[in-house]
Amino acid sequence: MRAFVTSNRLAIASLLVSLCYTPSVFAQWDVRGNVSTEVLVFPHTASHSANQKSSVSLSSEIELYTDIGDAGSLTITPFVRVDRHDPERSYLDFREFIYTHVGDTWEARVGLGKVFFGVAESANLVDFINQTDSVEGFSTDAKRGQPMINLLLTRDWGDIDLYILPGFREQTFPSEFGRPRIPVPINTDGTRYESDDRSNAVDFAARVSTIVGDWDLGAHVFEGTTREAELQFDPTLGALVPFYSRTTQVGLDAQATLESWLLKAEVVHRSGQAFTDHIALVTGFEYSFYDIQGTGADLGIVAEYLMDDRGKDGPALLQNDALIGLRFALNDVNSSEALLGVITDLDGDGNLLSLSASRRIGNSVKATVEYTGWSTDKASSSLLALDREDNVRVELSYFF
């Protein structure tokens, strides 16, 4: 954590320097971003020490972009959040601090970057570059900036993406003062690594991708520290601590776009010393009804299956689960949308329900209301840990 803060200070310092002494090769800065206020409400008293029934936080993400010469550009994207209760949720992170150079048939990027791979909705097994910023919420898409040297080669048949990833970013977790969380606190001071180099171990990855008619296809290989933390109990700390193992992962992703049908699959095989070799899979479809009854509204139906062949004994929460989702878009002036998602454990361990609605207010403000709830009627279910953490999140964001 401390090293991270230091690197952020350095980043801020260099950001200030580059802003104050902008040489003439820099064109003007393009600035965009948002400022958001979030209120979280918990209907139930917690079964752990954080007993607040509501919380409030402020956040802001600003993207600064400038061209450097004809082929280069610099993107700097700080994200900051201040949370009333949880110090782990009060932080600054650079989602991006990266130089990009675009050649004729290649592209190179150096710095802190953000990359997305994947096609599915419930989980993206092939999205292995960036660490998840879990402190942003259970169903978050937020990712931490990853140090990288990336070379993209464009060929007639598709793209080759090569990565050197020096420096590992830890997953973030709520502190003992934060909600929602599991009752046993997670202490990142006790973080364990399989590699003696800990977070300094260098990772490598390569991905090829191509488009063949209606099919978008990708294949990758990754050699490095797993992004997913395995939680282990540390008796001296009296807390769970994250453990990160080394892995060799190969994977495939595919999407077929066939009129109203999107067929999707992501599959990975992981091998390593610290765990059983295994396969994980997410596959399913999305079907959309467009312009229903001439109203302009769309309804999308998503169904996906998630599997991890280590089963219930393994660390994966989604090992034999199904997602059913509905996406409703009014396509009106305010871009009103609603999403409903239910993830069900097919072994009967419980459900995760999430419901969200959003719309624009005026030209620059967006309002989101979201409910997340866990339920189980099985005493042995791991979801029991979360069954008092149901919450409603209300967010107002101003965009500029």
Partner 1 sequence: MHKHTNRSVKPAGFSAGILFTAAVTCLSWVGPAQADEAAKQRGLEIATAVQAQDDGFGDSESAMTMTLINRAGKESIRQMRSKILEVTDAGDKSLSIFDEPADVKGTASLTHSHATEPDEQWLYLPALKRVKRISSKNKSGPFMGSEFAFEDISSQEVEKYDYTYLGDEEVDGIAVHKVEAVPTYEHSGYTRLINYIDTDRMVPVKVEYFDRKNSPLKTLSISEYEQHLGKFWRAGKMEMENLQTGKRTILTWSDYKFQTGLTDKDFNSKSLKRLR
The pairing of strands 146-155 and 202-212 is: unpaired
Q: What are the structure tokens assigned to 277, written together?
A: 């070799």
Q: What are the structure tokens assigned to 379, written together?
A: 């005493």
Residue 26 within binding range of partner 1, rule CB under 8 A: no
Site for partner 1 in 46-75 (CB under 8 A): 65, 73
Q: Which stretch binds partner 1 (CB under 8 A): 110-118, 165-173, 268-276, 376-384?
A: 110-118
Q: What are the structure tokens assigned to 312, written together?
A: 């219930």
The pairing of strands 365-375 and 351-361 is: antiparallel
Residue 366 within binding range of partner 1, rule CB under 8 A: yes
Residue among 46, 192, 216, 314 that touches partner 1 (CB under 8 A): 216
**Under rule CB under 8 A, how many of the chain's residues touch partner 1?**
42
Residue 1 within binding range of partner 1, rule CB under 8 A: no
Residue carrying structure tokens 């996906």: 304
Residue among 34, 54, 60, 90 that touches partner 1 (CB under 8 A): 34
For partner 1, give the closer residue by CB, 262 or 343.
262
Question: In terms of Cα–Cα distance, which of 347, 354, 355, 356 is closest to 376?
Answer: 347
Q: Which stretch binds partner 1 (CB under 8 A): 173-181, 218-226, 272-280, 294-302?
A: 294-302
Q: Could you list the beta-strand ranges (E) of 213-319.
A: 215-225, 230-234, 239-244, 246-258, 261-271, 278-289, 298-308
Q: What are the structure tokens assigned to 328, written together?
A: 């409703």
For partner 1, give the closer residue by CB, 35 or 239.
35
CA distance 30 to 33: 10
Residue 290 within binding range of partner 1, rule CB under 8 A: yes
Q: Which stretch binds partner 1 (CB under 8 A): 17-25, 85-93, 314-322, 361-369?
A: 361-369
Given a contact cutoff of 8 angstroms between Cβ atoms, the answer to whether 73 and 100 are in contact is yes
List all residues 6 or more positions away from 378 whose beta carbon is below 8 Å from its beta carbon.
348, 349, 350, 384
For partner 1, give the closer residue by CB, 73 or 175.
73
For partner 1, give the closer residue by CB, 320 or 336.
336
The pairing of strands 192-193 and 239-244 is: parallel
Given a contact cutoff of 8 angstroms between Cβ atoms, the answer to whether 389 and 174 are in contact is no
Q: Which stretch binds partner 1 (CB under 8 A): 195-203, 260-268, 310-318, 379-387?
A: 260-268
Site for partner 1 in 152-171 (CB under 8 A): 152, 154, 159
Residue among 116, 157, 204, 233 that touches partner 1 (CB under 8 A): 116
Number of Cα atoms under 13 Å in the Cβ half of residue 125: 31
Question: In terms of Cα–Cα distance, which of 160, 161, 163, 188 is closest to 174?
Answer: 188
For partner 1, give the closer residue by CB, 32 or 53.
32
Residue among 46, 58, 80, 115 that touches partner 1 (CB under 8 A): 115
Interacting residues toward partner 1 by CB under 8 A: 30, 32, 34, 65, 73, 100, 102, 107, 114-116, 118, 141, 152, 154, 159, 211, 216, 255, 257, 259-262, 288, 290-291, 294, 296, 298, 331-335, 360, 363-364, 366, 397, 399-400
